[in-house]
Amino acid sequence: MYDTKGIMKHFIFDRLVDRENLCNLIKERDQLLHYIEKKDNVVVYAPRNFGKTSLLKNVVIEDFRKLHKKSFVFFADLLGVKNLNSIIGRLMNSFERSFDESFPVKNIFNNPSFNPIQKSSVAK
């Protein structure tokens, strides 16, 4: 975000920002991690383009997953939902995505040593 002289290069907005380009959210990150470690429920809200989603997805959730490899992390962005059906749909999609990210399935077909047609070593 800053060059070697401490001058800001550019300000990124309206898309997810990676950890290195987030600025001035250290206190908020520490607070969120503290609440999560205490197993408190947390709702994060602020005006658009304040870095909420980037902070959660690219910093807090990444850090939490490194510390708790077998945990399930549920993240749902409810921007733009208009009625109960759209909320339900968004929550269902978010649950599926969150589950896949928390517990990735190992595909045996991508394993180069997997051979479904192996000769049996059982004597005839």
Residue carrying structure tokens 């309206």? 14
For 23-41, write each residue's pLDDT tens digit: 778 898 899 989 988 989 8
Task: Examine the domain organization and report whether 54 and 93 are in the same domain.
Answer: no
Residue 114's Cβ-side half-sphere holds a number of Cα atoms within 13 Å equal to: 7
Confidence band, pLDDT 50/70/90 cuts, at residue 13: low
Cβ atoms of residues 77 and 86 within 8 Å: no
Is residue 43, in this structure, part of any structural domain at all?
A: yes
Q: Is residue 120 part of a domain?
A: no
pLDDT at 94 over 90: yes
In a domain, 96, yes or no: yes
On whether the pTM is more than 0.85, the answer is no
Is the same domain home to 38 and 58?
yes
Say how far apart CA 94 and CA 31 lie, in whole Å: 24
**Whether residue 51 is found in the same domain as residue 2:** yes
Range of the domain at 36: 1-70
**Dist CA 111 CA 109 (whole Å):** 5
Residue 25 CA to its chain's centroid (Å): 17
Please report, as a single letter, which amino acid is at residue 2. Answer: Y
What is the total count of domains within the chain?
Answer: 2
pLDDT digits (tens, 9 = 90+) for 45-63: 888 888 888 999 988 999 8
